[in-house]
Amino acid sequence: MHDAVIVDAVRTPIGKRGGSLADVHPADLSAHILKSLTARTGLDPAEIDDIIWGCVMQAGDQAGNIARTAALAAGWPESVPGTTVNRACGSSQQSVSFAAASVIAGHADFIIAGGVESMTRVPMGSAAKEGSSATPPSVQTRYGVDSFSQGLGAEMMAERWNLDRRTLDEYALRSHELTAAAIDSGAFDSQLAPIEGKLAVDEGLRRGGSIDKLGTLKAPFKADGVIHAGNASQISDGAAALLITTSKIATERRLDPIARIHTVAVTGDDPVMMLSGPISATAKALSRSGLSINDIGAFEVNEAFAPVPLAWLAETGADEKLLNPLGGAIAVGHPLGGSGAILMTRLVHHMRNNGIQYGLQTMCEAGGMANATIVELI
């Protein structure tokens, strides 16, 4: 039976909304990262069997199968196809899972998995027509709500896990501090493909924050709420890509993979709270893998809102020092469809740089879903 390995992984620096990447078309941003990946690996683009690309807001500049558009924008042979997938925030993590399944099944030799989101150019909600609703009355009646809100879901998580505002804000400061340390130490250098003349490092980092400063921010989702812009992920622009093949093909082609995709899992959870899925997805992935939480040496739990990693930490019993060791989306941003691949890129490079055998990535997703992926260092 075949396996699936990550030969290399690369990402753009993450731009803040309206920032340095605001005038870059998302197909061109994707093309930049595709070309960077093949340049790093030495693979001829003509050998790519497919591009599986995550993107959430498939409207405007991101409409019309951006995976294929990106390949054309990269100047690649017309023989290279592409497909675009949407599992909300976990879209490009799902792209990696689909790519792994394809090479394991023998349907493809080389697949590029990744994703993009330009939240500046294609804001959240762009895919919905004015006056329309993605949830019909049957779903609203089932759950007793008129609409589903991630912000209110984060408030529900904070209440359920007894996370007060100070705890959430302290976690947010931790994210910025760890990101600053990672940038200053060069921990991200080997994984970045800077956009010449525009952006070389992640743009959202805010240095010198304090509890007092965060305390001045308004909580918009709930009266006397605890969720605000400072302890939630930043709206941003970015892309990432990973080259997926089998270890057999990698050996034949004298490629040196970083990691093996060990186990994947996806789960559904409460769609009203919406953000608690990483807890059950992690449990499912660990059960399938035969590993325990203590076997994992690094965790990437997407920081959509501070309660997500903190509730996950409380339920899993993981070592806090191993959680998001380079900071996360609170500090650098969460470009929706690109984030799964961005986190996986961060994870596998961190594992290689520090000799960590197993890593786990998980992300909450709209609709109450979550992906979890365990990777093993080669």
Which candidate, 201, 202, 207, places its Cα nearest to that of 177?
207
Among residues 32, 55, 176, 364, the one annotated as catalytic is 364
55 in active site: no
334 in active site: yes
Q: For residue 291, what are its two tokens?
A: 């590993």
For residue 279, give every residue at least 6 positions away whose Cβ sits within 8 Å of its Cβ, in sequence order, or none.
269, 311, 312, 315, 316, 370
What are the DSSP E strand ranges found in the chain?
Answer: 5-11, 15-16, 50-54, 82-85, 111-118, 236-245, 259-268, 298-301, 358-365, 369-377
Which candidate, 313, 306, 318, 300, places its Cα nearest to that of 362?
300
For residue 69, give every residue at least 6 positions away whose Cβ sits within 8 Å of its Cβ, in sequence order, or none.
27, 30, 82
Q: For residue 69, what are its two tokens?
A: 């558009």
**CA dist., res. 200 & res. 23, Å (int):** 16
Are residues 161 and 310 in contact, defined by beta-carbon separation less than 8 angstroms? yes
Backbone angles phi, psi at 293, to 5 degrees: -60, -30
Q: For residue 220, what are its two tokens?
A: 């918009």
Tracing tokens 């009646």 back to the chain, one arrives at 141
**CA dist., res. 161 & res. 174, Å (int):** 19
Which candidate, 345, 217, 363, 220, places its Cα nearest to that of 303?
363
Among residues 176, 228, 262, 334, the one annotated as catalytic is 334
262 in active site: no
For residue 122, give every residue at least 6 positions away whose Cβ sits within 8 Å of its Cβ, in sequence order, or none.
26, 57, 59, 60, 61, 62
Report in angstroms the alpha-carbon separations of 88 from 124, 150, 295, 305.
11, 12, 29, 15
| Amino acid in position 67 | A
Among residues 89, 228, 349, 350, the one annotated as catalytic is 89
What amino acid positions are annotated as catalytic residues? 89, 334, 364
